[in-house]
Amino acid sequence: MKFKVSARLGYQAKSAGTIILNIHALKTEKQTVLEETFTISPQADAEELITPGTDNRFMRVDIKEPGDYTVTYEAIVDNHFELGKYNKYKDISISQLDPAVLTYLSPSRYCQSDRLYRLAENEFGTLANNYNKAVAITKWIHNHVEYLSGSSTSETSAYDTVAQQAGVCRDFAHLGIALCRSLSIPARYFTGYSYMLIPQDFHACFEAYIAGEWLLFDATRLSPLNGFVKIATGRDAADASIASMFGDINNTDIEISCQLAEDIDFEPRYHYPSVYDGVAYR
């Protein structure tokens, strides 16, 4: 499916500094970037970073002069997600797990799975398999946590969200990741452009590694699972934040868009009420 995505980010630099952006569409086996443009005005040096152990496409922008900068990214992306089938999801034991995913079992800054294992065990431990557990976790979060802008900060973690029961997409994702890891299900943070998300913005969800696939879950239920253009994955928002600023630089505005780029009939797919097929972006 072809999508046209764009991001327009404004920054006020009161000093020289560096911005590391992670807004480019990922290039994967199943996601092809047909066209893309990236501009900074006024002009500033930018380089794409190749970082070991991740495919995320970080752009490092070198701000030499204070001033107001605007970053614009536009791309046409063709991607194909996989539709899993419930009946083929067989659990993989830790002893058989791909070593590359083991890191996604560890607690991370915003996902303190080491502190939530009893809750996870009590709520989900008896379910039949990891897929059922991930689906139940996603429903539980949706039912227990209120989506409320401004109810959380950049310091809010899964441990807080369990008690405070409010947050934004980032918090919903962190809690899903933490609960999966507490049950020894590898889980990671997913960011992307999202078709039909209202209002248009970057969106965060989580992926759980089930039966050898990274399956996508969105506890906010705000986006159709088949309408994403994948930007990045990581252990949590600390790995895959949209932008990191060094120096006295602030984000002043943001304008995101994700539209269909071909004339097809888009049928949004959600994990509920009773669709049990998983969705995977490879």
In the complex, which residues of this chain contact a second copy (CB under 8 A)?
17-18, 20, 45, 49-54, 58, 60, 62, 93-95, 99-100, 102-103, 105-109, 111-112, 114-116, 118-119, 122, 144, 146, 154-155, 159, 162-166, 184, 238-239, 244, 246
Q: Quick one: 12 or 244, whose CB is closer to a second copy?
A: 244
Are the beta carbons of 103 and 109 closer than 8 angstroms? Answer: no
Q: How many residues does the chain have?
A: 282
CB of 107 to a second copy, least distance (A): 4
CB of 89 to a second copy, least distance (A): 19
Grouping H, G, I as helix, E, B as strand and the rest as coil, residue 255 is strand
Question: In one letter, which amino acid is 11?
Answer: Y
Q: What is the largest CA-CA distance in the chain?
A: 58
Q: Which of 148, 153, 141 is nearest to 167 (CA)?
A: 148
Q: Which of 194, 254, 197 is nearest to 230 (CA)?
A: 194
Cβ neighbours around 65 below 10 Å, total: 10
Are the beta carbons of 86 and 278 closer than 8 angstroms? Answer: yes
CB of 131 to a second copy, least distance (A): 19
Main-chain dihedrals φ then ψ at residue 133, nearest 5 degrees: -65, -45
Q: Quick one: 218 or 239, whose CB is closer to a second copy?
A: 239
Q: Quick one: 83 or 100, whose CB is closer to a second copy?
A: 100
Helix (H) or strand (E) holding 247: none
Are the beta carbons of 203 and 191 closer than 8 angstroms? Answer: yes
Are the beta carbons of 11 and 71 closer than 8 angstroms? Answer: yes
Q: Quick one: 116 or 197, whose CB is closer to a second copy?
A: 116
CB of 31 to a second copy, least distance (A): 20
CB of 83 to a second copy, least distance (A): 27
Q: Quick one: 118 or 282, whose CB is closer to a second copy?
A: 118
Query: Distance between alpha carbon 10 and the CA centroid of its chain, in Å?
Result: 22
Q: Quick one: 46 or 76, whose CB is closer to a second copy?
A: 46
CB of 52 to a second copy, least distance (A): 5
